[in-house]
Structure 1
Amino acid sequence: MAVVPESAAIVNALRSGLVPNVGLEHFATGLDALVGAVNEDLDFVAGGKGLSKWIRGEYGTGKTFAARYLCAKARERKFASSEVQISINDTPLHHLETVYRRLIEKLETAADGPNAFQAIVEGWLYQVGDEVTRLRGISEDDPGFADATEQRLEDKLADLSKRNPAFAQVLRAYHRATHEGDFATAQGLLAWLAGQPHTDRSVLAAAGVKGKVDGQASLTFLAGLLQLLRQSGYAGLVVVLDEVETVQRMNTQTREKSLNALRQLMDMLAKEELPGLYLVVTGTRDFFEGYKGLKALAPLYQRVQVNFSEDSRFDNLKAPQVRLTPFMDDRLLTVGARIRNLYPAKNPARLTERVSDAFLQGLVTQVTAGFGGKVALAPRMFLRELIDVMDRVDIHEAYDPREHYKLELDDGKLTAEELAAKHGRPVEEPPEEPEEPTSNDSEGPPPAPARKRLDG
């Protein structure tokens, strides 16, 4: 039985029906072709270009899993990544400042892991001194090292200033504050650069800036971040906008703003104003084809529209829009076997004997039948049930699932899509949010973000 370092984290996430943040490569299936196509895209982006990939799939096809897996693969190639889950209340798409703030909060690199923004800035500053030593042969003990470092810093800041003067000013002030040991000011400046809305005026005065990163300015700051990453030796940045189909539940006014935000991002990519950005957008078929989705903004729809044939084997994975195919029994069985093999059991032999391939096949059949034969809706509950069974086998020596296990699909644990499939009825559409007052576009402090389920 294989043992992987992330096994406990993987199992803990699946136990709650969530997509794990690590170790996806140990049980990913059916994504090799998509990874190959994305790698070609990343080669293009690494050359200083911008590109987007739109991933469509129904509930249960694993859109979030696929996007997170692509991010992990990109980080192996010296890309930074960030996953932003779009939602009506927490991260509305039309509030670009909120999207930018979430992007910074979720920034991740292979070297520094999650919450990597400060590490990236510190690495950039360290590299300035390293370049002076390496390129000019001046050691840290040399009397001219400090002046040479300041000059190299100003050269880099001058390049950054061309895209975003405020971004460069704050970096300069951050460097000065850390050098002087004023860490409170340094942290305040970094928070402002990350899009945090509440920063003391005295902190901003140290950098000669005012206000906050809001609205359209957030896209300029995104461009500054991209340049900072490239100056630091990163190939680029992969940004995932997940669950964009939530814009369909927004009122007409907000929906139009959200779609225009996507169009603006596409325009900036086309004009090469966001070099090094690989934008991944996930959504359902209704979002891509419905009149409350992309079709509500014809220019955007026309850019990403793709005609799919009935035979998915011949899909063009190089196209701007690609689709994920639903799970079938054999794929679900493969995932189940891989999860069983990495489960951190105290008695691996007992686990393998009692959670046999035959039991896995039976569990796939039972869960699928519970959802009206729709395998595509089964993965989340199948994995939750499987983890629960393995937990019991691991804890109780006398527990044998072939004798003691009984599937119970409790309505309280099911999503709207799963409930609809279980009871053979259409999915109930949530009501649209009420119209916003046109005189006030400001946002208050958002609620804490919800963790992402292991569904679409």
Structure 2
Amino acid sequence: MKSMQIPKRLTTALVHSLTAGVVPRIGLEHIAVGRKLEVASILQDMDNIAEGGAAFRLITGRYGSGKSFLLQMIRNYAMDREFVVADADLSPERRLVGTKGQGLATYRELMMHLSTRTRPDGGALEMMLQRWIAGLQQEQMQLSGLVPGDPQLHAAVELRIYAVANELQNLVHGFDFAKVLAAYWSGYKLGDDDLKAAALRWLRGEFPTKTEARRELGVGVIIDDDNWYDYMKLWGEFAVRIGYKGLLLFIDEGVNLYKITNSVSRQSNYEKLLTMFNDTMQGKAQYLGIYLGGTPQFVEDQRRGLFSYDALRSRLMEGRYSSSGSLRSYASPILKLDMLSHEEIMLLLQKLRDIHAMHMGYEPKLVDEQLVVFMQAAVNRLGAEELLTTREVVRDFMDVLHVLHQHPELDYEQLMGEREQEYEASGGRKNQQKDASTDEMDDFLAEFEL
């Protein structure tokens, strides 16, 4: 790490995000530890999706265990591999279905965050369409020698656009989708910004009524709460036809479905999730990956979780051979995030130490033995099990790095001693339980002769 130079914009994003306890959008590869088997499994999904397949995964783990981090890291990998990606967090206002347009709100959020490698921060919809049209124009100019502005060039491009549109017409809602693409092309060709804007509004799910859509675009349907997922399948097909590998959806905070108090509404959302699962598993969707993050309770609670819905429970429950002892299959729909080992956390702390020093412009002063002291203090304060949900540990460690940098007269051991005294004075108590995790910590400490 010390010999590696990371751009300032990346270290800034990493330091600021981790200090605040949120997942950075960029630079994740510089702090990633563990998760090799999970990542390898999802990369295999991407290969399958690029060949016309589909994938559905539930990524589960406790709060702070790294679900959001893994989803964000896979999102970045996908863009590097020329996939279109979209992400959204579920909330009381954003669900899969709802009586007040919560499903459509999720679609709009996904479309707002539609991203590609060249537009990684969202808002890629219009850029994708313009890139597609520009690519077709360039291709036709090379084939025929036509020049920009030539009516024959417009006619040739239009034929190619309608060829793609005709392929989409055979899919559910494909006819109207194709008509809106044609309307966008007409606006592009004629320089009609209003027509282009109307087409983009429709594609983003922003038309409130069918009457308005018919008046402005000649299309008698709109994207709504009932059909938004069908249009996501269309986006996957369309993405491939304009030069991408497919579409991946990253939906986090699935626990908000578990929190729905009305049982009928909750079951309706689980039914929509079942539809997504069946489509991707049975080949009804192509070039589409769906990755949903949630807590184990959201999945396994048989009273309100996904397992309360019999059709989902029968599909998601592990087989008797998929999780036997230390052996695990990473091909199942549920990816359970194991706790990070002490060695992996140690490696993470080393990376954070060096990134902080690089960002602030000083030579790292903390040695590995001091990092182990920090880990030991965290185990004693939080309990070994909580230590391994890394969000709070990372945030505390970033605080230590900031304090030591801003107060150079302060000694590390002095700081740690003061903090522990403050913790005990505030009524905290050290975890005295002797379990497998603390045994593991003792073995780890022995390696450093501490």
Query: Could you say whether these structures have the same fold, taking a TM-score greater than 0.5 normalized by the shorter chain as the test?
Result: yes
Counterpart residue number, 1:298: 310
Q: Give the percent of matched residue pairs that are identical in Structure 1 and Structure 2.
A: 23
Distance in 1 of aligned mates of 2:333 and 2:277: 11
- Tell me the CA shift for residue 227 of structure 1: 1.9
Counterpart residue number, 2:234: 224
- Aligned to 2:414, the other structure's residue is in SS state helix
- Tell me the CA shift for residue 311 of structure 1: 3.2
- With CA pairs under 8 Å and 6+ residues apart, which has the higher RCO, 1 or 2? 1
Aligned CA distance change for structure 1 residues 226 and 410 (closer, same or farther; 3 Å): farther
Distance in 2 of aligned mates of 1:183 and 1:409: 65
- Aligned to 1:131, the other structure's residue is in SS state helix
Superimposed CA distance per residue, residues 401-435 of structure 1 (whole angstroms, 9 cap, x where no aligned partner): 33235437999xxxxxxx9x99x9xxxxxxxxxxx
Q: Kindly indicate whether residue 274 of structure 2 is the aligned counterpart of residue 274 of structure 1.
A: no
- Tell me the CA shift for residue 334 of structure 1: 1.1
Counterpart residue number, 1:337: 350
- Tell me the CA shift for residue 59 of structure 1: 2.7
In the TM superposition, 1:31-430 aligns within 5 A as: 31-87=35-91, 89-94=92-97, 95-115=102-122, 116-135=124-143, 138-140=146-148, 144-163=152-171, 164-198=174-208, 205-210=215-220, 212-250=222-260, 251-291=262-302, 292-307=304-319, 309=323, 311-312=325-326, 314-343=327-356, 344-349=358-363, 352-353=364-365, 355-376=366-387, 378-405=389-416, 406-407=418-419
Amino acid aligned to 1:207: L
Structural RMSD (CA): 2.8
Length-normalised TM-score, structure 2: 0.83
Amino acid aligned to 1:155: A
Aligned CA distance change for structure 1 residues 275 and 305 (closer, same or farther; 3 Å): same
- Tell me the CA shift for residue 222 of structure 1: 1.1
Q: Which residues of structure 1 form unaligned runs of 5+?
A: 412-418, 425-456
Aligned CA distance change for structure 1 residues 200 and 54 (closer, same or farther; 3 Å): closer
| Contact kept in structure 2, 1:124 and 1:231, CA below 8 Å | no
- Tell me the CA shift for residue 3 of structure 1: 3.0
Aligned CA distance change for structure 1 residues 277 and 335 (closer, same or farther; 3 Å): same
| Contact kept in structure 2, 1:327 and 1:375, CA below 8 Å | no
Alignment coverage as a number of residue pairs: 411
- Tell me the CA shift for residue 201 of structure 1: 6.6
Superimposed CA distance per residue, residues 84-121 of structure 1 (whole angstroms, 9 cap, x where no aligned partner): 2122x231232432222121112221122121222112
Counterpart residue number, 1:414: none
Consecutive aligned runs of 4 or more in structure 1 exceeding 4 Å deviation? 134-139, 197-204, 408-411
- Tell me the CA shift for residue 396 of structure 1: 3.7
Distance in 2 of aligned mates of 1:259 and 1:136: 53
| Contact kept in structure 2, 1:242 and 1:282, CA below 8 Å | yes
Distance in 1 of aligned mates of 2:328 and 2:300: 17
Distance in 1 of aligned mates of 2:387 and 2:248: 27
Amino acid aligned to 1:214: D
| Contact kept in structure 2, 1:316 and 1:322, CA below 8 Å | no
Superimposed CA distance per residue, residues 277-313 of structure 1 (whole angstroms, 9 cap, x where no aligned partner): 111122222222211112222112222221464634x
Aligned CA distance change for structure 1 residues 85 and 409 (closer, same or farther; 3 Å): farther
Distance in 2 of aligned mates of 1:198 and 1:393: 55
